[in-house]
Amino acid sequence: MVDESNNEYFAELNAENTILRIIVVGKNVLVDEQGNQLSFPESEPVGQQFLQSLFGADTVWKQTDYSQPPAYRGETALVGGKYDSVNDVFVDPVVDSNDIQPSQLF
């Protein structure tokens, strides 16, 4: 079982700020030069640099929060949702009820 308290989460964004995936980063990665654990927002650039070293310098990452309610950025990032860069918040994906098939309801 994974201890969620030792993890932080980052959302990958495409050019339209749509959330492509969520990646878990251990808090042991999110430290300063002296090894002190960082909290948001100081942890975000460290996590971004780490993820870009793994997935490419051209990838874009924003830290998200899975506590309830989220401590920052309004909503928790969800795949298919959007990042509103003007307001620095995540916006849940829009689901068109016409796209839902009866078999998806159960």
pTM reported for the whole predicted model: 0.84
pLDDT of 5: 78
**71-80 LR contacts (CB < 8 Å, sep 24+):** 71/40, 72/40, 72/41, 77/9, 77/11, 77/19, 77/22, 78/19, 78/22, 79/19, 79/20, 79/21, 79/22, 80/18, 80/19
Q: Could you report the per-residue pLDDT of 5-16, keeping only the tens digit for each?
A: 789 999 999 999
What are the structural domain ranges in the chain?
Answer: 4-92
Mean pLDDT in consecutive groups of 10 residues from the start of the chain, 106 residues: 74 98 96 96 98 98 93 94 97 71 49
